[in-house]
C-alpha cells in the first residue's frame, strides 16, 4: 500500500501511525514522499493509494477526495515572539483591540490550510495574511520580524515553536478540526479497511500512547474516540520523558559530521542523475539537430516544434507534468478506453519511478538545448570538408557521421561542457518529485533541524565542488580522446574545398 | 602531348555544361572538355572564370543546370539544380566520384583525423575495403608522395606543403582513373611550390592515369601538360597542344601568357 507523505520529521507521528495500521491490516506500507501540495496529485496519479499529512477535513477537499475517519483533533495555535509578550497581551489585541477598530497585525500561516479560513473569520484582511508552502517558514518570518503572529494548527506549532525560547505559544483559539487520511474518490474498500484498523488503534490505547510519545496528546482527542488506558499512561508516562529523544528531539538533533555525510551520500544521486542524463541529452540533441536540418518537412518540423516547446517552458513544469499528470492521464485513458486497458495496463505503463522520470525529463530538456548546440556545430563545419568526403566516395550519411558530426561536436565541446555544468545544478529541481538528491536531502535535513540556511550553504558548497570537478574531468576526458578544444584560427586554416 | 588516337573513347568528357549561381551570375556557359586515357590536360584562365566550378562538376560535386559529363562514354547522373536526386542517381554519382580523385586548392584534410586516417578514409568508407587493406593502400599512397613517416601524426601538425602532399596521397589511395588538381601549389610558398610541383610533374610523367590540372603556374603547365585549355567566363575558348600554346601568336593566348588576362 503505497502512501504519500512528507519527508519532514514533523510528520513522524503519522509515519508511526501508518506503520501501526499496516501491521493491523497485514499490509506492507511503502512511503512515497512528495511536496505537501503535491500529495493530492501524487495520490490522484495512482503513485500513492492514500495521503496522510495533517490534511484537515474540509468541504472543498471532500469534493476531490474521500476522507477516512478522523485520527486527530487539532486546534489553531497562535504564536508570537517572546519579546512581544508585553505588547500583545492577548489574541484580541492583535485583531484591532477589544472593539475591533485597531489594526490587524501581519500574520503568517501555511498555504491552503484551514488556519487561513479561521483568520478570515476572525476578520483579518486578506492582504495581512501571508501564506507559505511549508510549516517552518512562518516561524522563520516571525523571528525575522516580517510578521508579528503565526497561526497554525497545534501539532505544527508544538513541533516548530514549542521548544524555541524566542517564541511563545498563546492559548489555542478553540477552532478545532480534525485530520484525516485522503483516498481517491470511490476507493471504498481500502478506506473501509483503514477505518477499521484505525478504530482498533483508538480503542486499544495504542494511538493515545503514540500521541503522548510525540508530545501532541490533548484531552480533545477523546472526542473522536481515542481511548487512554489509564494504567498504561501512568506506567509509561515516566519513561516517556526519558524516551522523548525517540520522537521530537531525535528529529531535531543536528550534528555537522552526520549532516555532511548525509549530503555527501546524496551527491551520489546527483552525480548519477547527471552522468546518466547528460550523455542521453547529447544523443537526443544530435538526433534533433540532424532532424531539424532535414530537407523533409515531415522530419524537420516536429523536431523544431519539440525544441521550441521544451526550451520555451520551465523544467519544473515539465517535471511536474511527467511525474504527476502522465500517470493521471493513464488512469483516465484506462477508464475511457476499456479495450486498451484490456491489453495494456496504461496507468502502470505511464507511471515511471521518480528516478526514471528525473532522467527522462532532464535528458529531454537538455536534449533540446543540445539540439541547438549540435546544430550550430554542424553549421560550423566548412563546406569544403563535406565536399572532400564526398569526393572520396563517402555517402551523405557517412559524411555526416564520420566528418560533420565529429567536427561539429568538437567545435561545440565548450558549450556542451557548459550544459553538463548547468545540469548538475538543475538536477536540484528534481527534488520536487522527491528524488533523494543533494537538494532534496539538504532541504529535508534543514527543515527538520531548523537549520535550512546553514544546510543550504553546505549543499551549495557541494554543488560548487561537483561543478568544478565535472569541468576538469570533462576537459581531461576530451583531451585524452583526442578531442582537444580546437581554437578557431586553426579551423580557418584548414577550411578546405573547391573554391 | 597525347600518344593516343583521337578515335579512342575519352575517359572523361563534358559537353554543354551550364550553371548560374543563385544570384544569377554565370558560372559555366556551354563548357565542353575532352580528356583521353593517360592524358594530362591543363585548364588555365583568369581568376573567377569558373575553373574550380568546372572541376567540381566533372567530379560530380556541383549541381549543373544543363549539359552532360560522360565517363568512358557513359553519361553520369549529375546532380541537377533544384532537383532532389533519387537514391539510385545518388549512388551512381557516388560510384563516379570513386573513379575521380580530387586534390583541392586548400587541401581539405580532415582536421580531426590523423594523416593515416585521412588516407584510409577513401578506401575504408568510399570503397568499403577492410581496415587492413585500407591501411596498406594508405601507406603505399603516402610512400608515393614521400610522407610515409607521418602516418600517425595529426593532419593539422603538418606544414602547408606537407598537407598538400598528404591530400594528393589521400586522393591516390582510392586508385582513381582520373586525378583532378585544383591549383595544387597556389596556397604555398616558393619552396613548397617547388616540392609539390615536382610531385605533380612526376605523377604526370608516369602517364598512369588521366589528369586535369588547373594551374596558374605556367612553368608547371609547360612541364606537366599534354594539352592546354583556356577558359574564360565559364566557357572553354581554346584547346591546343602544350607546345602550340606556348608558341602561338594568337593575341588572346599571348595576352593570357603575358598578363594572366584574356581581355584588356
Ligand atoms: N558557391 C558559390 N556561390 C556563388 N558564387 C560562387 C560560388 N562559388 C564560386 N562562385 C563564383 O563563381 C565564379 C567562378 O568561381 P570559380 O569556379 O571558383 O573560379 P576560378 O576557380 O576560375 O577562380 C567566381 O566569380 C566566384 O565568385
Ligand atoms: Mg579556383
Please state, in angstroms and rounded to a whole number, the distance separating the CA atoms of residues A308 and A90. Answer: 57
Given its phi and psi angles, is residue A434 left (phi above 0), alpha (psi -120 to 50 degrees) or beta?
Answer: left
Is any atom of ligand 1 closer than 6 Å to the C-beta of B225? Answer: no
Q: Verify that A65 and A192 share a domain, yes or no.
A: yes
Sheet holding A76-81, edge to edge: A129-132, A107-110, A149-153, A76-81, A167-169
Write out the three cell numbers for A175. Answer: 477552532
A6 domain-assigned: no
Q: Do B125 and A402 touch (CB under 8 A)?
A: yes
CA dist., res. A97 & res. A103, Å (int): 8
Bigger pLDDT: A325 vs B242: B242
**Mean pLDDT, range A89-96, rounded to an integer:** 79
Residue nearest (by alpha carbon) to ligand 1 atom 9: A499
Are residues A348 and A409 both part of a single domain? Answer: yes
- pLDDT value, residue A484: 54
User: What pLDDT, on a 0 to 100 scale, did the predictor assign at position A231?
Assistant: 55
Query: Is B74:B111 a contact under the CB 8 Å cutoff?
Result: no
Beta partners for residue B31, in sequence order: B17
Residue window 171-200, chain B: list those with CB within 8 Å of chain A: 171, 174, 182
* Mean pLDDT for all residues in chain A: 83
A490–chain B Cβ distance below 8 A for any pair? yes
- Those residues whose beta carbon sits under 5 angstroms from the ion ligand 2 are B 52
For residues B100 and B175, what is the distance between their CA atoms, to the nearest angstrom?
9
- Locate the DSSP E strands across chain B: 12-20, 26-35, 40-44, 66-71, 74-75, 100-103, 178-182, 210-214, 227-232, 235-241
Is B59 an interface residue toward A (CB < 8 Å)? yes
Residue A22 lies in a domain: yes
- Full 3-state SS string of chain A: CEEEECCCHHHHHHHHHHHHHHHHHCCCCEEEECCHHHHHHHHHCCCCCEECCCCECCHHHHHHEEECCCCEEECEEEEEEHHHCCCCCCHHHHECCCCCCCCECCEEEECCCHHHHHHHHCCCCHHHEEEECCCCHHHHHHHHCCCCEEEEEHHHHHHHHCCCCCEEECCCCCCCEEECCEEECCCHHHHHHHHHHHHHHHHHCHHHHHHHHCCCCCHHHHHHCCCCCHHHHHHHHHHHHHHHHHCHHHHHCCCHHHHHHHHHHHHHHHHHHHHHHHHHHHHHHHHHHHHHCCCCHHHHHHHHHHHHHHHCCCHHHHHHHHHHHHHHHHHHHHHHCHHHHHHCCHHHHHCCCHHHHHHHHHHHHHHHHHHHHHHHHHHHCCHHHHHHHHHCCCCHHHHHHHHHHHHHHHHCHHHHHHHHHHHHHHHHHHHHHCCCCHHHHHHHHHHHHCCHHHHHHHHHHHHHHHHHHHHHHHHHHHHHCCCCCCCHHHHHHHCCCCC
Domain end marker among A118, A152, A178: A178
A264 and A411 share one domain: yes
CA distance readout (Å), A423 to A50, A306, A364, A397, A467: 33, 19, 12, 31, 9
Q: Residue B206 belongs to what H/E stretch?
A: helix B190-206
User: What tens digit of pLDDT does each residue of A451-476 get?
Assistant: 888 999 999 999 999 999 999 999 88
CA geometry: angle A201, A34, A49, nearest 5 deg = 50
Q: At A36, is the pLDDT very low, low, confident or very high (cuts 50, 70, 90)? A: low
**Rounded mean pLDDT, A8-19:** 72
CA distances from A497 to A383, A491, B61, B183 (A): 7, 13, 10, 12
Tell me which of A178, A194, A216 is where a domain ends.
A178
> CB distance from A479 to chain B under 8 Å?
no
* CB-count burial class (<10 Å; 0-12, 13-18, 19+) for B241: middle
The domain limits of chain B are 12-259
Specify if A4 maps to a domain: no
Instruction: Identify the pLDDT of residue A32.
Output: 65
Backbone phi and psi for residue A407, each to the nearest 5 degrees, phi listed first: -75, -40
Interface mutation vs chain A, best among B110, B157, B164, most A CBs within 10 Å: B110
Read off the pLDDT band of B10 (50, 70, 90): very high
The stretch B17-35 carries a mean pLDDT of 95
Residues in chain A with CB shorter than 8 Å from the CB of B104 are 384, 387-388, 391, 496-498
* Residue nearest (by alpha carbon) to ligand 1 atom 8: A499
Of all residues in chain B, the one with the smallest CA distance to A384 is B108
From residue B96, alpha-carbon distances to A264, A499, B92 in Å are 61, 21, 6
Ligand 1, residue B46: give the atom nearest the CA: 22
pLDDT digits (tens, 9 = 90+) for B104-157: 988 899 999 999 999 999 999 999 999 999 999 999 999 999 999 999 999 989
Higher pLDDT, A436 or A280: A280
Question: Worst-scoring range by mean pLDDT, A5-9, A256-260, B177-181?
Answer: A5-9
Local confidence band at B69 (pLDDT 50, 70, 90 cut-offs)? very high
Contact between B43 and B227 (Cβ < 8 Å)? no
* C-beta B50 within 6 A of ligand 1: yes
- A3, part of any domain: no
Please tell me the distance from the alpha carbon of residue B41 to that of residue B31, in angstroms, as a whole number.
15
Domain membership of residue A372 (yes or no) is yes
Q: Which residues is A32 bridged to in the sheet?
A: A4
Radius of gyration of chain B (CA): 18
Reported ipTM? 0.94
Could you please state the CATH topology (level 3) that the domain comprising B12-259 is classified under.
Rossmann fold (3.40.50)
Is A2 contained in some domain? no
**CATH number of the domain residue A122 falls in:** 3.40.190.10
Q: What share of chain B is helix, strand, coil (3-state, %, to 5)?
A: 40, 25, 35
Last residue of a domain, one of A154, A178, A202: A178
Exposure letters A470-481 (e unless 16+ CB within 10 A, then b): beeebbeebeee
> So what's the pLDDT on residue A213?
84
C-alpha cell at A369: 538545448
- Residue A41's alpha-carbon distances to A2, A315, A321, A323, in angstroms, are 14, 18, 10, 9
A461's CB contacts (< 8 A; 6+ apart) are none
A313 lies in the same domain as A444: yes
- Say whether both A369 and A387 belong to one domain: yes
What is the whole-number distance in angstroms between the Cα of residue B91 and the centre of ligand 1? Answer: 27
Of ligand 1's listed atoms, the one at least distance from the Cα of B55 is 17
Instruction: Using pLDDT thresholds of 50, 70 and 90, give the confidence band for residue A25.
Output: confident
How far from each other are the two terminal CA atoms of chain B, in whole angstroms? 30
Q: Are A349 and A475 contained in the same domain?
A: yes
Please write the tens of the pLDDT for every residue from A266-315. Answer: 999 999 999 999 999 999 999 999 999 998 999 999 999 999 999 999 99
- For chain A, the residue count is 499
Whole-number Å distance between alpha carbons of A299 and A310: 17
Give the residue numbers spanning the domain of A78.
72-178
pLDDT at A9 over 80: no
Determine the Cα–Cα distance for residues B151 and B141; give it in Å rounded to an integer. 11
Nearest CB partner across the interface for A391, out of B59, B107, B156? B59
For residue B34, the cross-strand partners are B13
Q: Do A126 and A215 belong together in one domain? A: no
pLDDT tens profile B84-99: 888 999 999 999 999 9
Chain-centroid distance of CA B86 in Å reads: 26
Per-residue confidence at A445, pLDDT binned at 50, 70, 90? confident
In this structure, the answer to whether residues A124 and A187 fall within a common structural domain is no
Please state, rounded to an integer, the average pLDDT across all residues of chain B: 92
Asked if A48 and A171 sit in the same domain, the reply is: no
User: Same domain, yes or no, for A51 and A200?
Assistant: yes
- Number of structural domains (chain A) is 3
Count CA atoms within 13 Å of residue B56 on its CB side.
24
State whether residue B120 sits within 8 Å of chain A by CB.
no
A200 and chain B: CB distance < 8 Å anywhere? no
Which ligand is the nearest neighbour of the Cα of B233?
Answer: 1
A1 is a domain residue = no
- What's the pLDDT at A88? 83
> Shortest CB distance from B125 goes to which of A391, A394, A497?
A394
Question: Does A392 fall in a domain?
Answer: yes
Question: Does B118 reach chain A within 8 Å, measured CB to CB?
Answer: no
A214 and A358 share one domain: no
On whether the pTM is more than 0.90, the answer is no
Domain identity same for A294 and A374? yes
Amino acid at each position: 500500500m503505497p502512501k504519500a507523505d512528507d519527508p519532514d520529521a514533523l510528520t513522524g507521528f503519522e509515519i508511526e501511525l501508518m506503520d501501526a495500521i499496516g501491521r493491523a491490516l497485514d499490509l506492507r506500507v511503502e512511503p512515497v514522499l512528495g511536496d505537501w501540495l503535491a500529495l493530492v496529485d501524487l495520490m490522484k496519479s495512482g503513485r500513492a493509494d492514500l495521503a496522510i499529512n495533517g490534511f484537515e477535513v474540509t468541504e472543498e477537499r471532500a469534493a476531490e477526495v474521500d476522507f477516512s475517519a478522523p485520527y486527530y483533533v487539532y486546534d489553531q495555535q497562535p504564536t508570537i515572539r517572546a519579546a512581544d509578550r508585553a505588547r500583545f497581551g492577548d489574541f484580541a489585541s492583535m485583531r484591532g483591540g477589544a472593539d475591533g477598530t485597531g489594526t490587524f497585525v501581519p500574520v503568517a500561516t501555511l498555504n491552503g490550510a484551514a488556519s487561513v479560513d479561521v483568520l478570515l473569520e476572525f476578520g483579518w484582511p486578506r492582504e495581512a495574511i501571508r501564506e507559505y508552502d511549508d510549516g517552518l517558514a512562518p516561524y522563520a518570518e516571525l523571528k525575522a520580524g516580517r510578521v508579528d503572529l503565526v497561526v497554525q494548527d497545534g501539532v505544527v506549532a508544538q513541533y516548530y515553536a514549542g521548544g524555541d525560547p524566542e517564541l511563545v505559544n498563546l492559548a489555542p483559539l478553540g477552532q478545532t478540526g480534525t485530520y484525516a487520511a485522503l483516498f481517491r474518490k470511490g476507493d471504498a474498500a481500502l478506506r473501509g479497511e483503514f477505518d477499521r484498523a484505525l478504530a482498533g488503534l483508538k480503542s486499544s490505547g495504542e494511538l493515545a500512547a503514540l500521541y503522548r510519545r510525540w508530545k501532541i496528546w490533548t484531552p480533545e482527542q477523546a472526542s473522536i474516540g481515542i481511548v487512554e488506558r489509564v494504567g498504561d499512561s501512568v506506567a509509561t508516562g515516566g519513561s516517556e520523558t526519558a524516551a522523548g529523544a525517540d520522537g521530537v528531539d531525535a528529529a531535531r538533533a543536528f550534528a555537522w559530521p552526520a549532516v555532511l555525510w548525509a549530503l555527501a551520500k546524496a551527491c551520489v544521486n546527483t552525480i548519477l542523475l547527471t552522468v546518466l542524463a547528460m550523455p542521453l541529452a547529447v544523443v537526443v540533441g544530435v538526433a534533433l539537430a540532424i532532424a531539424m536540418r532535414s530537407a523533409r518537412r515531415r522530419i524537420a518540423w516536429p523536431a523544431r516544434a519539440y525544441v521550441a516547446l521544451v526550451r520555451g517552458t520551465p523544467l519544473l513544469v515539465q517535471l511536474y507534468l511527467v511525474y504527476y499528470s502522465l500517470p493521471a492521464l493513464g488512469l483516465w485513458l484506462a477508464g475511457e478506453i476499456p479495450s486498451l486497458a484490456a491489453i495494456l495496463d496504461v496507468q502502470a505503463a505511464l507511471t515511471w519511478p521518480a528516478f526514471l522520470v528525473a532522467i527522462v525529463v532532464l535528458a529531454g530538456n537538455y536534449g533540446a538545448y543540445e539540439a541547438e548546440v549540435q546544430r550550430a556545430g554542424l553549421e560550423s563545419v566548412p563546406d569544403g570538408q563535406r565536399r572532400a568526403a564526398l569526393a572520396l566516395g563517402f555517402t551523405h550519411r557517412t559524411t555526416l557521421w564520420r566528418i560533420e558530426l565529429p567536427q561539429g561536436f568538437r567545435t561545440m565541446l565548450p558549450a556542451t561542457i557548459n550544459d553538463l555544468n548547468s545540469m548538475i545544478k538543475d538536477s536540484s529541481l528534481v527534488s520536487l518529485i522527491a528524488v533523494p538528491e543533494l537538494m532534496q536531502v539538504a532541504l529535508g535535513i534543514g527543515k527538520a533541524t531548523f537549520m535550512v540556511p546553514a544546510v543550504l550553504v553546505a549543499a551549495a558548497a557541494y554543488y560548487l565542488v561537483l561543478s568544478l570537478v565535472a569541468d576538469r574531468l570533462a576537459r581531461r576526458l576530451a583531451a585524452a580522446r583526442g578531442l582537444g578544444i580546437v581554437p578557431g584560427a586553426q579551423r580557418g586554416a584548414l577550411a578546405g574545398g573547391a573554391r | 602531348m597525347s600518344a593516343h588516337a583521337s578515335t579512342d573513347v575519352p575517359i572523361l568528357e563534358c559537353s554543354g555544361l551550364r550553371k548560374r549561381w543563385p544570384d544569377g551570375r554565370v558560372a559555366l556557359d556551354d563548357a565542353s572538355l575532352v580528356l583521353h586515357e593517360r592524358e594530362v590536360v591543363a585548364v588555365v584562365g583568369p581568376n573567377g572564370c569558373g575553373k574550380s566550378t568546372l572541376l567540381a562538376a566533372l567530379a560530380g560535386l556541383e549541381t549543373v543546370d544543363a549539359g552532360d559529363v560522360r565517363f568512358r562514354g557513359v553519361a553520369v547522373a549529375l546532380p541537377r539544380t533544384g532537383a532532389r536526386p533519387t537514391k539510385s542517381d545518388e549512388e551512381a554519382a557516388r560510384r563516379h566520384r570513386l573513379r575521380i580523385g580530387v586534390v583541392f586548392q586548400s587541401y581539405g584534410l580532415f582536421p580531426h583525423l590523423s594523416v593515416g586516417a585521412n588516407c584510409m578514409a577513401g578506401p575504408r568508407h568510399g570503397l568499403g575495403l577492410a581496415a587492413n587493406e585500407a591501411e596498406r593502400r594508405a601507406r603505399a599512397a603516402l610512400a608515393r608522395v614521400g610522407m610515409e613517416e607521418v602516418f600517425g601524426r595529426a593532419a593539422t601538425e603538418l606544414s602547408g606543403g606537407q598537407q598538400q602532399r598528404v591530400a594528393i596521397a589521400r586522393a591516390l589511395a582510392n586508385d582513381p582513373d582520373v586525378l583532378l588538381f585544383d591549383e595544387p601549389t597556389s596556397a604555398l610558398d616558393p619552396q613548397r611550390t617547388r616540392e609539390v610541383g615536382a610531385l605533380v610533374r612526376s605523377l604526370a610523367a608516369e602517364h598512369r592515369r588521366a589528369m586535369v590540372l588547373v594551374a596558374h603556374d605556367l612553368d608547371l603547365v609547360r612541364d606537366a601538360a599534354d594539352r592546354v585549355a583556356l577558359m574564360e567566363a565559364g566557357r572553354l575558348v581554346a584547346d591546343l597542344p602544350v607546345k602550340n600554346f606556348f608558341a602561338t601568336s594568337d593575341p588572346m593566348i599571348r595576352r593570357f601568357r603575358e598578363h594572366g588576362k584574356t581581355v584588356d
